Amino acid sequence: MSTTIVWFRQDLRLLDNPSLRAAEALGLPVIPIYLWAPKEEGSWPMGGASRWWLHHSLSALSESLKGIGLSLIIRAGNSVQELTAIIKASKAKHLVFSRRYEPEGMLQERAVESQMTTLGIDCQSFNSSLLFDPREVMSGKGTPFKVFTPFWKACLKSRLIELPTIAKPLLKPALRSPSSLKIEQLDLLPRIHWADGIGKAWVPGETGAQTSLQVFAKSVLDEYSETRNLPSLEGTSRLSPHLHFGEISPRQIWEVTAENPMTLSAQSRTGMATYPKEIGWREFAYHLMFHFPFTTNKPLRTEFSKFPWKTRKSALLAWERGSTGFPIVDAGMRQLWEMGWMHNRVRMIVASFLVKHLLISWQQGAKWFWDTLVDADLASNTLGWQWVAGCGADAAPYFRIFNPVLQGEKFDPDGRYVRRWIPELTKMPKRWVHRPWEASPADQKSCGLSRKSPYVSPIVDLREGRDAALQAYQSMKERR
């Protein structure tokens, strides 16, 4: 009897997974596989925090496949070669997989598809990671969108969202399994234990994803528009890493947060409420990455290729380590390092600080986020950084410069978030907690801050940084 190969990519789940449904419909024995091919990711091979997540997510997937009688096959190397070897050994006739939209991911699947044609294998691919395939939503002129609101209106008007199928697929195993690596052999875990904090904060895998969604829908969603900007609260969904690895489908999130007429207002049912709109921004990020693939490395607005960015190694290092002297910035960067994640409001603040006050290029920031975020996602990372830098689609004007002191005082008024991540400031009075360099020497001393502490002498003067940023922006516009 023939066999179906299910190639898992960024869809590490059983529920609402179109390729598994296709495999179920074929009714043949199934071999589920995962291919580790970091060399095929161009300049964006998976970063450290993401590899940690992948390790645990693959373990979870392997366990849940075991629960329905299947054994996950792990391979590493060249994806075309590995797939070919497995297909030949198992005499498979069908390959099903979920599409990716990263430039390199698309190259990879084009190579696979062409090889399948050569081998005479039936090959089916599915959109499992987006509500809207980037090809399906276009402006009236037939061009891709560059502004969020019209994009999102067009999406909602198209009514293309399918409802999820939340039922475990019924699959039967192949009689003989190809050889498999152990997950440990992929060497995804860091050698030193910097991931301890990440492990305490997250439960990778489909079960963890479902729990996060239920908790969010039940206790956070109603107040989301008011609490999402307060980093000291757990006011956000925390679904991003699960979504990135495809441990949960966006359709299911959509159904729970935007389409449930029993619990939600008319506004949320039309998808314009605050949380569903965030899902919309993710869709927009993929739309842009698909239609403008060069933006993963270069600014969308080409005049920014002349922007006079600076190379400031020690300032970049201080930013990465969370020792700039600006409490809200440092708290965010330390949270990122410790739990592989940062509150979104704080992401905007630290990004603005790097790009504007330090004049370090958004690409440098994007690389650090890529390596340290468990939810590192090429589309969202690119959109976010280009938005902050003012060089992307629908971007903030360049002169919109966040003042880290005012942002801190506005969104962390009691300093709880800052004190949570910066022990040096535990005893700093509320009045000065976002501007400790202005505190009295006595207050500084009671916190044990020496004169060399960044909280006494921050790495830049905010006024000078702001002026320099505005000047750099002017000089870019004047060059032609």
Partner DNA sequence: TGAAATGTTGGGGCG
Partner DNA sequence: ACGCCCCAACATTTC
Site for DNA (CB under 7 A): which residue of 111, 470, 472, 476?
Answer: 470
Q: Which residue among 82, 104, 278, 320 is the active-site one?
A: 278
Q: Which of residues 428-467 bind DNA (CB under 7 A)?
A: 462, 466
Closest distance of CB 463 from DNA, Å: 7
Whole-number CA gyration radius for the chain: 24
In angstroms, the CA 181 to CA 204 distance is 20
For DNA, the closer CB: 294 or 399: 399
- Annotated active-site residue 385? The verdict is yes
Q: Which residues from 270-309 bind DNA, rule CB under 7 A?
A: 278, 281
Looking only at residues 325 through 384 of this chain, which bind DNA when binding is defined by CB under 7 A? Answer: 345, 348
Question: Which of 98, 108, 257, 403 contacts DNA by CB under 7 A?
Answer: 403
How would you classify the pairing of strands 4-8 and 94-98? Answer: parallel
Q: Judged by CB, which is closer to DNA: 401, or 460?
A: 401
Q: How far is the CB of 354 from DNA (least distance, A)?
A: 15
Quick one: which of 101, 40, 45, 46 has its CA closest to 250?
A: 101
Piece of 7-15, 242-250, 395-403, 438-446 that binds DNA (CB under 7 A): 395-403
Distance CA 333, CA 234 (A): 17
DSSP assignment letter at 124 = E
> In one letter, which amino acid is 175?
L
- Annotation marks residue 309 as catalytic: yes
CA dihedral 205→207→213→219, nearest 10 degrees, is: -120
Nearer to DNA by Cβ, of 148 and 202: the residue is: 148
Q: Is 278 a catalytic residue?
A: yes
Q: How far is the CB of 190 from DNA (least distance, A)?
A: 32
Three-state secondary structure call for residue 329: helix
Binding mask 111-150 for DNA (x = CB under 7 A): -------------------------------------x--
Nearer to DNA, 272 or 462 (CB): 462
* 321, 406, 445, 448: which one binds DNA (CB under 7 A): 406
73 near 36, Cβ under 8 Å?
Answer: no
Task: Tell me, residue by residue from 68 to 107, as one string, x for binding to DNA by CB under 7 A and - for no binding.
Answer: ----------------------------------------
Q: Work out whether the CA dihedral 353, 358, 361, 367 comes out positive or negative.
A: negative
Kindly compute the dihedral angle of the four CA atoms of residues 282, 283, 284, 285, in this order, to the nearest 10 degrees: 50
CB of 399 to DNA, least distance (A): 4
Task: Rule CB under 7 A: say whether 402 interacts with DNA.
Answer: yes
Token pair of 85 as six digits: 């070897």
- Rounded distance between C-alpha atoms, residue 383 and residue 127, angstroms: 21
Helix (H) or strand (E) holding 365: helix 362-372
Residue 194 or 411: the one with the smaller Cβ distance to DNA is 411
Catalytic entry in 78, 255, 259, 281: 281
CB of 215 or CB of 396, closer to DNA: 396
Helix (H, G, I), strand (E, B) or coil at 273: coil
Q: Which of 410, 424, 453, 456 binds DNA (CB under 7 A)?
A: 410
Q: Which of 66, 88, 91, 400 binds DNA (CB under 7 A)?
A: 400
Nearest residue (CB) to DNA, 116 versus 401: 401
Using DSSP's 3-state secondary structure scheme, residue 121 falls into: coil
Residue type, 138: M
Taking the least distance from each CB to DNA, the nearer of 244 and 434 is: 434
- With residues binned 3-state (H G I as helix, E B as strand, rest as coil), the percentages for the chain, rounded to 5, are 55, 5, 40
- Which member of 41, 255, 344, 437 is catalytic? 344
> What DSSP assignment string belongs to 139-150?
-TTS----SHHH
How many Å apart are CA 374 and CA 194, to the nearest integer? Answer: 13
- Least Å distance, CB 437 to DNA, is 15
Residue 396 CB, shortest distance to DNA, in Å, is: 5
Nearest to 404 by CA among 424, 433, 428: 433
Using CA atoms of 211, 213, 217, 218 in order, give the dihedral in degrees to the nearest 10: 0
Nearer to DNA, 103 or 231 (CB): 231
Among 78, 259, 309, 424, the one annotated catalytic: 309
- Which of 135, 311, 399, 479 forms a contact with DNA (CB under 7 A)? 399
Distance CA 125, CA 109 (A): 9
Looking at residues 153 to 172 of the shown chain, list those that interact with DNA (rule: CB under 7 A). none
Annotated catalytic, 36? no
Structure token digits, residue 389: 């830098």
Per the DSSP assignment, residues forming a β-bridge with 7 are 33, 97
Q: Is the distance from CB of 210 to CB of 347 less than 8 angstroms? A: no
Residue from 396, 456, 472, 476 touching DNA (CB under 7 A): that is 396
Amino acid at 167: A
For the chain, the first-to-last Cα distance in angstroms comes to: 66
Q: With contacts defined by CB under 7 A, how many residues of the chain interact with DNA? A: 18
- Contacting DNA (CB under 7 A), which of 253, 407, 417, 444? 407
Question: Which chain residues interact with DNA by CB under 7 A?
Answer: 148, 278, 281, 345, 348, 396-397, 399-403, 406-407, 410, 462, 466, 470
Residues annotated as catalytic are 278, 281, 309, 344, 362, 385
